Amino acid sequence: MKRKVTKAVFPVAGLGTRFLPATKAIPKEIMTLVDRPLIQYAIDEARAAGIKEFIFVTSRGKSALEDYFDHAPELESSLRKKGKTELLETLKTTNMDSGAIAYIRQHKALGLGHAVWCARRLIAPNEPFAVMLPDDVIAGEKPCLQQMTEAYEETGGCMVAAMEVPKDKVKSYGVLDVSEDMGHMVKVRGMVEKPAPEDAPSNLAVIGRYILTPDVLSNLNKKKSGAGGEIQLTDAIAQEIREERGVYGFRFQGQRFDCGSKAGFLQATVAFGMSRDDLKDEFTQYLHEAVAMSKAAQ
d(CA 206, CA 222): 23
Give the nearer residue to ligand G1P in terms of CB position, either 13 or 133. 133
Q: Segment contacting ligand G1P (CB under 6 A): 71-79, 199-207, 212-220, 276-284?
A: 199-207
For the bound state, the minimum distance from the C-beta of residue 14 to ligand G1P, rounded and expressed in Å, comes to: 8
Which residues lie closer than 8 Å to 4 by C-beta, 6 or more apart? 50, 149
CB 54 within 8 A of CB 151: no
For 284, phi then psi, to 5°, come to -65, -40
For position 240 contacting ligand G1P by CB under 6 A, the verdict is no
Task: Tell me which residue has its CB nearest to ligand G1P.
Answer: 174
Interface with ligand G1P in residues 152-181 (CB under 6 A): 173-174
- Out of 53, 193, 215, 240, the only residue in the binding site for ligand G1P (CB under 6 A) is 193
User: Hey, which residues does 209 pair with through a beta bridge?
Assistant: 132
Torsions phi, psi for 35 (to 5 deg):
-135, 15
Per CB under 6 A, the list member of 128, 143, 208, 273 interacting with ligand G1P is 208
Decide whether 49 or 205 has the Cβ nearer to ligand G1P: 205
The nearer residue to ligand G1P, 101 or 112, going by C-beta atoms, is 112
Instruction: Name which of 222 and 288 has its Cβ closer to ligand G1P.
Output: 222
Sketch the per residue contact string, 127 through 156, with ligand G1P: x for CB under 6 A, - otherwise: ------x--x--------------------
Instruction: Give the nearest distance from C-beta 46 to ligand G1P in angstroms.
Output: 17
Q: Which is nearer to ligand G1P, 173 or 265 (CB)?
A: 173
How many residues make contact with ligand G1P (CB under 6 A)? Answer: 13
- Which backbone phi and psi does 3 adopt, to 5 degrees? -70, 145
Per-residue interface string for the shown chain with ligand G1P, residues 258-277, x marking contact by CB under 6 A: --x-----------------
Residue ranges that bind ligand G1P, judged by CB under 6 A: 112, 133, 136, 173-174, 193, 205-208, 233-234, 260
